Structure 1
Amino acid sequence: MSWTWRFLGPDGGPAPNVDDGAGRADAGFPTQSDAESWLGEHWRALVEAGVDSVMLVEDGREVYGPMSLKPPD
Structure 2
Amino acid sequence: MVWTWRYEKKDGTVVTPPGGEEEFAGQGDAESWIGESWKQLLEDGVDTAVLLDDDRVIYSMSLHES
RMSD of aligned Cα (Å): 1.1
List, as ranges, runs of 4+ consecutive aligned residues in structure 1 with deviation greater than 2 Å.
none
Q: Normalising to structure 2: TM-score of the pair?
A: 0.92
Which amino acid is the alignment partner of residue 53 of structure 1? T
Structural mapping, 1:6-25, within 5 Å: 6-15=6-15, 17-19=16-18, 23=19, 25=20
Say whether residues 1:37 and 2:18 are aligned partners.
Answer: no
**Residue type at the aligned position of 1:14:** V
Determine if the alignment matches structure 1 residue 2 to structure 2 residue 9.
Answer: no
What is the rounded CA distance, in whole Å, between the counterparts of 1:61 and 1:10 in structure 2? 21
How far did residue 9 of structure 1 move?
Answer: 0.8
Q: For 1:10 and 1:27, locate their aligned partners in 2 and report how far apart those are by CA, in whole Å.
A: 21
* Identity level (%): 45
- Separation in 2 of the partners of 1:31 and 1:18? 21
Tell me how many residue pairs correspond in the alignment.
Answer: 66
- 1:69 maps to 2:63: yes
More strand by share: 2
Cα drift, residue 45 of structure 1: 0.2
